[in-house]
Amino acid sequence: MQGKGRYTYSNGKVFEGDYVEGAPYGFGVLRCQQFYYEGFFKSGLFEGHGKLHDFVNNEFFEGEYYDGKRRGKGQLVDRKTGEIFSGYWIEDMKEGPGKLIDS
């Protein structure tokens, strides 16, 4: 698949957006029961700026992704506690200086 399109995977995930060589690449939206992601992809993985609504952990993250993981500047909102962490990430983990705001 090449260009823009919509595809429903066998596991129920639905992707709408740009494809290159059969994989999400560029801007798109990926949704399923566990999460909703709107942002950029590279070779099917989250890459660049994106917004992830995680329904399982009741969290929202907006920031940078690299190779499918949070990396760089981003903000995580824990919808259960109201806590907001704004700072840096490496390999999906908080890293270095940041700011934590309690509800």
Domain boundaries, the chain: 3-101
Q: Are strands 45-54 and 35-42 parallel, antiparallel or unpaired?
A: antiparallel
- Go through 45-59 and write b for each residue having 16 or more CB atoms within 10 A of its CB, e for each that does not: ebbebbebbbeeeeb
Q: What is the mean pLDDT of each run of 10 residues along the chain (103 residues)?
A: 92 96 96 98 98 98 98 96 96 91 80
**pTM, entire model:** 0.92
Q: What CATH number is given for 3-101 in this structure?
A: 2.20.110.10
